[in-house]
Structure 1
Amino acid sequence: MAKSAVKFRDTVAEYERISAQIAARKFAPVYLLMGEEGYFIDALAEQLASTILDEAARAFNQITVYGRDTEAGQVINLCRQMPMMGSYQVVIVKEAQQLRGIEKLSYYTQKPSATTILVICHKEKSVDRRSAFYKGCAANGTVFESVRPRDYEIASWLQQFIKGQGLAIDTKALSMLTDHLGTDIAKIANELRKLTVSLPEGTRRITDADVEAHIGISKDFNNFELCKAVVTKDMNRALMIADHFACNPKDNPLLLTIMALFGQFRDLFVVNYLRWLTRHKGKPFPSDQELMRILRKSNTFILGEIKQQASLWDNRKVFAVLGLLREYDAKSKGLNAGGAPDGELLRELLLKIFLL
């Protein structure tokens, strides 16, 4: 099956569109919610389950089945039943990727019942677009594909997610969350829910102290502070943070640290290259707005720091650092690491960077 052309930004936009339609009670007869990122699939399924029918009607007209425990024929029979004392019945199929004979659902999706709303939650992968099942869902219902974000896409999504809850977040607090929690949106959303519930009444801005207090990420010993120490060439501070990481390896995976450092030096490389083009080729240096687009940043303060830090590194050294990061990325995955623990590998990597 060909790789999907859907991007994370497409997923977010389509999620918001479908969510708004559900809130306005504009329902499709079939919803195929599919893809690798389960957070949006679960959110839409939950919204449908709590919106289509009122609480009393759900007891009679809402059925949830699981793919591993049923087969396509049983789902079709459920969908063809008439609702009891209401306009609709709702059939929700969870873990549909495990449904036996899922392709047979095409017999139903090609001509769905007007009194049934079928919600198919197909996680882990997408349905083959060439299949009759997919084509039936696309022609007669709503298809939603949920793709996972890249590391550089998380921060902007998280800012908007927090804004949607009537809050703002400081730059450092945002970096602490994205560096520590990675790209697992469900995990991020869950941690944020715990954090927002714990915030004092009237709080409108999340700070690094809030993240430390309610999520348990140190505001002094984290990837944001480590990256800052490295690019500003503060070796003592960087090694102190590395020693803290070595004492808490489960909370500070080496792979995430390497990803954070790689992103930081990649940005420095791009800025220095653009400056070289300006000096040697006469090309105008991009405006802040254009540079933010190139670097995929959403904050002018961060942009100012990157430009300042880039002046401390020439691109020959930046290129060498990127090479070291690739080498230690492989070592973090067990290749030629010699059995060294993550803490030792990180300290070794930092010393090599500072000795360049």
Structure 2
Amino acid sequence: MAKQNFRDTQQAAGRILAELKQGRYAPLYLLSGEEGFYTDKISAYIAAHALNDSEREFNQTVVYGKETDGPTVVSLCRRYPMMSQRQVVIVREAQAMRNFDALGVYAQQPLASTVLVICYKGKSFDKRSVVYKQLAGCPGAVVLEASTPRDYEMEGWMRDLFAARGCRIEPKAIQMLADHLGTELQKIDNEVEKLFTRLPDGTQEITAAHIEQNIGISKDYNNFELTRALSERNMARALTIADHFAANPKDNPLPATLATLFHHFQRIVTLGIAQWENRKQGRPAMTGLSEMEIARLLKLPAPFFAKEYIGAAANYPNAKVFTILGWLREFDMKSKGMNAGSAGDGELLRELILRIAML
């Protein structure tokens, strides 16, 4: 079984949840992988819906890997339900469990009335191992290996997240969320949940203003606006944003800003190289590169952002970008206390922007 990409993860998790909502429960769920969002979502659904309130007290057991071992879990699984058609055993943090191989032996002859949910978070199984083959080979077993999303995959995921709540979201609002929250799915889901408790009924589109007002991310002073100001060589605006960051360091940590800038200038040089290759072959720089193709090449969250990078590539020839990438590495080291002297994070960011302005 090949490792799933994030889109595969979404689709597989969607199928599993759809089956659960139809009341179809498997004897064993093996939920693993680097990203724990869908592991938590699926196990939480089973915990809330597989049994009714009166059944749950006697027929649902939740244990943690650090506090139990394989034989103990097997013993739980081999009990028969009390006044219910099934019992549920959920093993959280199973990756920390002792004698895990015992579950593989159980999987060869599972009890039909038990639903065993194994939450193996933060890592993937060795698919060559005997225990994995035993678990995955359990008749009717459901296996999910969740991969971590890439930056460029977040736009589609967030659109789906809001669409499930009957809302659209504008590209700038997506970028603000991605900038502030990264690719931590659970954190984003929690913030979106809180957002919808504060919005007026009937809201059909989420804007940057909604994000600013309800999640506390400034729509005017954030990493997205900083990169755009630098793309346009609007250095006065970039310095104003840097001053705001210096005044609000907890909301705008320098390491996160430097990482965003590094990724931004990597994209600029990638587009610059593509343009150079076109010119080398005697074609105009942008021949054959639509906004959609540029978005795909640069792994942008939406084609909407392609125009910014076309302008940025014109403002920053490759030689300049390579210099800036070197500076970003230098300032990353300074932000970690190496050769920074007494300069604070705000001063470091301001110095970096002034260097870029003078280049």
TM bracket (short chain)? over 0.9
Aligned residue in 1 for 2:311: 308
Which amino acid counterpart does residue 316 of structure 2 have in structure 1? W
Measured at CA, do residues 339 and 109 of structure 1 come closer, stay the same or move farther in structure 2, by a change above 3 Å? Answer: farther
Matches within 5 A, 1:32-181: 32-140=30-138, 141-181=141-181
Structure 1 residue 185: Cα displacement: 1.4
Structure 1 residue 338: Cα displacement: 3.8
Matches within 5 A, 1:209-224: 209-224=209-224
Question: Whole-Å Cα distance in 2 between the matches of residues 280 and 95 of structure 1?
Answer: 54
TM-score by length of 2: 0.92
Aligned residue in 2 for 1:352: 355
Aligned residue in 1 for 2:329: 326
TM-score by length of 1: 0.92
Of the three residues 283, 295, 298, the one matched with 2:298 is 295
What SS does the corresponding residue of 2:241 show, helix, strand or coil?
helix
Equivalenced residue count is 353
1:340 and 2:343 correspond: yes
Structure 1 residue 38: Cα displacement: 2.0
Aligned residue in 2 for 1:196: 196
Question: Whole-Å Cα distance in 2 between the matches of residues 130 and 195 of structure 1?
Answer: 44
Which amino acid counterpart does residue 309 of structure 1 have in structure 2? A
Measured at CA, do residues 108 and 338 of structure 1 come closer, stay the same or move farther in structure 2, by a change above 3 Å? Answer: farther
Which amino acid counterpart does residue 308 of structure 1 have in structure 2? G
What SS does the corresponding residue of 1:120 show, helix, strand or coil?
strand
Structure 1 residue 298: Cα displacement: 4.7
Further displaced range: 250-259 or 293-302: 293-302
What SS does the corresponding residue of 2:58 show, helix, strand or coil?
helix
Aligned residue in 1 for 2:279: 279
Further displaced range: 225-234 or 278-287: 278-287
Identity rate of aligned residues, in percent? 47
Question: Whole-Å Cα distance in 2 between the matches of residues 345 and 153 of structure 1?
Answer: 31
Aligned residue in 2 for 1:26: 24
Question: Whole-Å Cα distance in 1 between the matches of residues 92 and 150 of structure 2?
Answer: 26
Which amino acid counterpart does residue 242 of structure 1 have in structure 2? A
Aligned residue in 1 for 2:240: 240
* Contact map agreement 1:109 1:133 (CA 8 A) in 2: no
What SS does the corresponding residue of 1:86 show, helix, strand or coil?
coil
Which runs of 5 or more structure 1 residues have no equivalent in the other structure? none
Question: Whole-Å Cα distance in 1 between the matches of residues 188 and 347 of structure 2?
Answer: 29
Question: Whole-Å Cα distance in 2 between the matches of residues 191 and 334 of structure 1?
Answer: 32
Measured at CA, do residues 330 and 148 of structure 1 come closer, stay the same or move farther in structure 2, by a change above 3 Å? Answer: farther
* Contact map agreement 2:127 2:133 (CA 8 A) in 1: yes
Measured at CA, do residues 110 and 345 of structure 1 come closer, stay the same or move farther in structure 2, by a change above 3 Å? Answer: farther
| Cα-Cα RMSD | 2.0
Which runs of 5 or more structure 2 residues have no equivalent in the other structure? none
Question: Whole-Å Cα distance in 2 between the matches of residues 63 and 14 of structure 1?
Answer: 26
1:89-144 alpha-carbon deviations (Å, 9 max, x no partner): 11111122222221222221222111111001122222332333221211111221
* Contact map agreement 2:93 2:119 (CA 8 A) in 1: yes
Further displaced range: 44-53 or 328-337: 328-337
